[in-house]
Every structure is written in structure tokens, then in C-alpha cells.
Amino acid sequence: MVAPKRVVAPKSQYEQWQDTIKTCRTDPSWNEYDETIKKTVDEYNRHLANTKGYLPLDWRLIKAMTWTESGARKQEWKTRPIQIGNHGDPGMQAVIDGKEGSSLVIPPSLRQRLSVYKIRNEPETNIQAGIGYLLTKCASYGETTTLDPADNKEYEYTVKQHDTLSKITHECHTTMTILNSMNHGLSTLHPNQKLKYKKGSIKQTITGWTRVTTNTIAVKYNGRKDPKYQAKLEYCLSMINGLQSTTPPCWKQVCH
């Protein structure tokens, strides 16, 4: 009696993707950006080391992102390995313009290199911008009042009719915090009232961080557009570390 042929189910799209990643075992081009990633991550880690709650970024997470976003078998690998800069992507313009807090996150030495052309065509710049945008999304921001370091003089302002606190702070180059601290009980304004103030401004600051994990990357960088994004990152990490099924627990932590 002839045994029936075993029917092999076709591989899923995810399994086909895994097979592509497995080629890293024999294809050294999967590792060609290692030094760029390490150097860039080190620069970000030094720049952000003194911000509240920052934990050093692991360069292997970024390597896993480049494998997940493009990979050595795709054409984009040679231009946009981390995929920031695709048409319609708001992240590229944010880092170029210093918006969303990126001016605080990206080291000045890297920010001055960023341009639309370089982000879209130069792998090193693409990786630098992608890391910057990821960390920008992982930071929390607040505002703080800073006295003008070049002018410590105390001034006096005489309130005029129809003045408002907003108008006064703008005209005197000061802030509400400074006015309140130097004029106790300030609640209402009346003509000829004397207000003491020093010059200062409100500046955006980094107040904390969401830890960068595979989950936070999937949420804040990919936006959960790919439901398997976190699983892909963890699979790439297992390959990067010479493993098949496990990754360090810190990479699997859930973002709250």
C-alpha cells in the first residue's frame, strides 16, 4: 500500500520573512552598518546621559530595527535602512526642523548634517535621523523658566491702563514665574502699580523617558502599523545574539 503524500502547508508571509533574516548567517552585508550604529548610539548616549531618567540605548536594538525596516536583501538597504524619510513620513521633517522636542534630543553635531537629500539617500544619515526620531518620541517634555544669564539686573515696570500679564511678560522679556516670584500676592493689575522683574524665558526641557524596548519601538516608531513588528524585532535580536528563541528580558518589557 502506497503511503499518502504529506501535504506541506505553504509558508506564511512572516515565515518567508524569517527565512530572509536567516540569510544573515552567511551574508556579511547584514552587518555592514554595525560600526555606524555603534558610533551613533554612543553619541546619543553621551549627549543625553545627564537628562532625567535616561537609560543608555543598546545599539543592537537599532540594528534589529534596520533588519526589520529594510534588511540587506532589499533595495532600500543601500539608502534608507531604517526607513525614515519615506514620502509622507512626518518624522523626517520633525528632526530637520527641530520640532517635537528633537532639538533637545539630537546632538548639535548630528543635527547640522540632516537634510532631506541626505536622510533619503545616505545610509549613515538615515540611521542617525531614525535614532533621533525614535528617542524624540520616547522622551517626555515640560517647560521651565530660565533667567537670562547675560543680564542679572533687576528691573521695575509701571503698569499702564489695559495692561495684561501676558502683554507685560512679552514687552519686558520675562515670564509669569519670574513676576510671581518677585511680586508676592500678584493677582490683579491696576494702573501705576510697580512690578519688579528680571529678564528670562520659558524653555522646553526633557523631564523623563520611556524605556526603549521592542514594544516601545513598535508603538512609538512603527505606530503599530505592522502587528508583527515587535515579534520581528525580537526575532532579529535572537539572530543577532546567535539565539533562536529567547532575548534578554529587558527587550520584552511592556511600555506603560
Supply the DSSP symbol for 106: S
Question: 3-state class of 93 per DSSP?
Answer: helix
Instruction: Tell me whether residue 227 is in a domain.
Output: yes
Within-domain flag for 103: yes
Domain annotation covers residue 119: yes
The mean pLDDT of 154-158, rounded to a whole number, is 96
Give the tens place of pLDDT for each residue, 55-114: 999 999 999 999 999 999 999 999 999 999 998 788 999 999 999 999 999 999 999 999
Which grid cell sits at 101?
522636542
Considering its fold, how many domains does the chain have in total? 2
Q: Decide if 178 contacts 198 (C-beta within 8 A).
A: yes
* pTM across the whole model: 0.81
What pLDDT is attached to residue 126? Answer: 98
Domain that holds residue 173: 154-198
210 and 102 in one domain? yes
User: Looking at the domain assignment, is residue 217 inside a domain?
Assistant: yes
**CA distances from residue 28 to 50, 63, 68 in whole angstroms, order as listed:** 36, 14, 17
Same domain, residue pair 163 and 236 = no
Identify whether 5 is part of a domain.
no
Kindly state whether residue 4 falls inside one of the protein's structural domains: no
One domain, residues 84 and 159: no
Whether 101 and 177 map to the same domain: the answer is no
Reported as a single tens digit per residue, the pLDDT across 225-253 is 999 999 999 999 999 998 444 445 454 54
Residues 105 and 38 in one domain: yes
> pLDDT value at position 117?
96
Q: Is 8 exposed, middle or buried (0-12, 13-18, 19+ CB in 10 A)?
A: exposed
6 — pLDDT class (breaks 50, 70, 90): confident
